[in-house]
Amino acid sequence: MAQYGYVRVSTREQNEDRQLVAMRDFGISERDIFLDKLSGKDFERPSYRRLLRKLKPGDTLVIKSIDRLGRDYGEILEQWRVITKEKQAAIVVLDIPLLDTRQKERDLTGTFIADLVLQILSYVAQTEREQIHQRQAEGIEAAKARGVRFGRPPMERPEMFHEVLAAWRRGDISAREAGRRLEVNYKTFQAWAR
């Protein structure tokens, strides 16, 4: 019966130290910690996949918080089922002591409470994700209404643009050559030409 830790941060820039310290404090050895630096929007993560292949009945998977497993309500519940039912492994969520399936003598009420807490927390995680997207979209719309422009400002056309455009329209030069002469990508030249 092995113990494994799973650590996930959403981007390469984020720091996983807090989760690693929690894993070590729990007693998980360095070689049994699986780390992904990828978004939690899906479960196509290499280390997570390796971890699932390694899990055997009676093993324990430790995660710092439920949102490290993922953010999608349905998928978190499905992965919980895969780990606890198909793999017959236990899960420990360090931030939420009620989410600890290691107790072999767990009664029906304890199992019900753990499942209920899991469903509530998974729902909250997904709802928060949706609210973040909604707030983001509303903020962008409000900024646009105030006249804020997003993205890079449009490039100014060089002085010799019309001369190069005329040569291209006559067929004297290609779009790639026109872009090279104007020191822009040929696609930018084509967009300007339209």
| 144 inside domain | no
47 has catalytic annotation: no
Residues 189 and 96 in one domain: no
Report the alpha-carbon angle 64-67-72, nearest 5: 155
Residues 118 and 165 in one domain: no
Amino acid at 90: A
Q: Give the pTM.
A: 0.60
What is the chain's pLDDT, residue by residue, as a tens digit (194 residues)? Answer: 899 999 988 777 778 888 999 999 999 999 999 998 876 565 678 999 999 999 999 999 999 988 777 767 777 888 888 898 899 898 999 988 878 888 655 566 666 777 777 778 777 777 877 888 888 889 888 988 998 888 878 788 888 999 999 999 999 999 999 999 998 988 889 988 88
Last residue of a domain, one of 88, 109, 130: 130
Amino acid at 164: V
Q: Which of 10, 39, 47, 65 is catalytic?
A: 10
| 149 inside domain | no
Last residue of a domain, one of 80, 112, 130: 130
| 56 inside domain | yes
| 142 inside domain | no
| 58 inside domain | yes
Q: What pLDDT sits at residue 50?
A: 94
CA atoms 65, 56, 49, 83: torsion sign: negative
Q: What pLDDT sits at residue 107?
A: 60
Residues 29 and 83 in one domain: yes
| 87 inside domain | yes
The range of the structural domain enclosing residue 126 comes to 3-130
Measured in residues, the chain has a length of: 194
CB 15 within 8 A of CB 25: no
Structurally, the chain folds into a number of domains equal to 2
Residues 50 and 117 in one domain: yes
| 145 inside domain | no
Residues 125 and 179 in one domain: no
How far is Cα of residue 154 from the mean position of the Cα atoms in its chain?
31
Of 126, 54, 134, the closest CA to residue 87 belongs to 54
| 177 inside domain | yes
Of 96, 97, 77, 95, the closest CA to residue 85 belongs to 77
Residues 124 and 72 in one domain: yes
CATH code (residue 83): 3.40.50.1390
Last residue of a domain, one of 111, 130, 149: 130
Residues 102 and 176 in one domain: no
CB 4 within 8 A of CB 52: no
